[in-house]
Chain A
Amino acid sequence: MIRFERVTKRYADGTLAVDDLSLECADGEITVLVGTSGCGKTTSLRMINRLVDPTSGTIRVAGKDVTKSDPAELRRTMGYVIQQGGLFPHRTVIDNIAPVPRLLGASRAKARGRAYEMLTLVGLSEPMGKRYPYQLSGGQQQRVGVARALAADPPVLLMDEPFSAVDPVVRSELQQELQRLQAQLHKTIVFVTHDVDEAVKLGDKIAVMQVGGHLVQFDTPERILARPENAFVESFVGTDRGIRWLSFFAAKGLRLHVPATVETTTSAEDARRIAREAGTGWLLALDADRHPLGWLEVATLNGGASIELAGLRSLGHTFKPDDDSLRAALDATVLSPAGVAVAVDDRGVVVGVADHEEVTRAIRAASGRA
């Protein structure tokens, strides 16, 4: 456990970067420090591995005051990942990772073996090990940064905006990768970001900080979204916090309906009859294995031959009731041309649909419970 006990940091120029911070980062959890630029997140993080020393107050890791440890020794027990990767340009990827276990006394061969193991762990191939950092994409560099931080198998991982400099698609991949690693490794992670979405996605606990180094709220992501402590947190988490908050409720509770469906071989005449009987203007088109193909708008059908695949409207996206949240289900209804979200199982087979009314009912039920 990492404990901040009334920690204050005032820099030599008088800047109050962190003001009387008390905080507990639980073992095996991800604690996210979030807040606007300049609010003291980096300073707080760097006081943990003594890249900065507090002006007053104490930081304890596993009960021990960090200022009682030798800084270099202390840092070897903590992985440190920074925004721009901080990879050493003159060394190959493997030689960026291997020195970490070497510092802890591993033999050269063992350290290299460990480095290759880490490379695979973060989703990079072994031949990448021989490349130099400039030959990697930004996302790959961040993965190497994470591999390096994990190489000594430290109990603590300090991450300072590690995914901020990569594009949104890669960022989301890296976030998922971190979640996968964490499920496997159970590190005590302190993660700094200015991005609320990232904080909500990754944090077990979130500490919202305000300029001047104040801690405003320290809570679970769910409660931060549902019950912001004050106007600052409320405006910081944004106007769509309600939508974000839905990601904490499983879509499992939705009552799915059986949709009116057609197959590609169905004639236009049959399609009109099916729609009339179901009392709907939209039919869900399926292939032979009951995978969804798209929506057929009955009003646009002309002639009597088979329905035209080209005339199908896109599904938007589907959701999985067992894995996804109400947020995903709501998003699927909004994007569906028929206003109906399609639920599929792991094999992509349609298991039912949910319309606006049903999603709204589920949201009401969920917020009633919160």
Chain B
Amino acid sequence: MIAAASTSFGGVISYLTSASNWRGSSGFLERILQHFEYSAETLLIAVAIGLPLGLLSGHTGRGGAVLSMLSNASRALPTLGLLTIFAILIGVGLEAAVIPLIFLAVPSILVNTYVGIRDVDRSLVDAARGMGLRPWQVLFRIEIPVALPLIVLGLRTAALQVVSTATIAAYVGLGGLGRYIIDGQASRNFAELGAGGVLVAAFAIATESMFLVCQWFLVSPGVRARAYTS
């Protein structure tokens, strides 16, 4: 048993380090690029939906209950189930893979943005209005910068969910890192399966790191320090 495990672990390493596996239309580089493409596309659409809605409802204080209800409902939907439904409805293709991922990503962005803006101290908003800022100035100059740690957290969570779940694109015949997992499983090639797992994990870690770096540069030291001390 132990021998078998270590053999397959060695197999994964050699699969990963074999130069020929990196090149070509089904090589790692190509698959990583595809994976990035699906993830980025999903995330952009999810941001375009979730961020403005979260900002608007947080700023006006309206629709919060409805939004969190919808979010909870969509969180409860099984992504794989959605994938199957969309594949049947609109046929196998990019949309069938991306739409379920959007359902997965929007709630994190929406809810965190809404809560972030809502939680901005009312006295700040009061002071900002009192000094003569117009509503949109209050939103962009005060509420967003102060809520930024939570907003970025929402984006980061969504990105991680998308990146690790984008493997399902392979189920509908698309590329990405999920290919190795599906194909490896189908052909009982554990080296390929393991390599796919490692690559997905590495991709997730890289994504996480990128967001941490962004957060460091975007969030004001004044807000960052407060978030740590309070």
Contacts and interface: CB of A to CB of B under 8 A. Distances in A.
> Do A and B truly interact?
yes
Interface of A: 49, 51, 72-76, 80, 82-92, 99-100, 103, 132-134, 145, 148-149, 158
Contact of B222 (A49, A100, A134, A145): A134
A75 B222 contact: no
Contacts of A100: 131-132
Interface of B: 121, 123-124, 126-134, 141-142, 145-146, 148, 219-223, 225-226, 229
A75 B220 contact: no
Closest 4 CB pairs of A and B: A86-B127, A132-B222, A80-B130, A76-B132
Contacts of B132: 72-76, 100, 103
Contacts of A133: 222
Contact of A132 (B121, B128, B225): B225
Contacts of B142: 88
A134 B127 contact: no
Contacts of A72: 132-134
B220 A90 contact: yes
Contacts of B221: 132
B226 A88 contact: no
Given A86-B124, A86-B126, A134-B229, A92 B222 contact: yes
B59 to A, nearest CB: 16
A207 to B, nearest CB: 21
Nearest to B131: A100
A171 to B, nearest CB: 19
Nearest to A133: B222
Contacts of B225: 132, 134
Contact of A103 (B126, B129, B133): B133
Contacts of B129: 51, 75
B64 to A, nearest CB: 19
Contact of A80 (B127, B141, B229): B127
A162 to B, nearest CB: 12
11 contacts: A82-B127, A83-B123, A85-B127, A86-B126, A86-B128, A88-B142, A89-B223, A90-B145, A103-B132, A132-B222, A158-B130
With most chain A CB atoms within 10 A of its CB, the pick from B148, B220, B221, B222 is B222
B123 A84 contact: yes
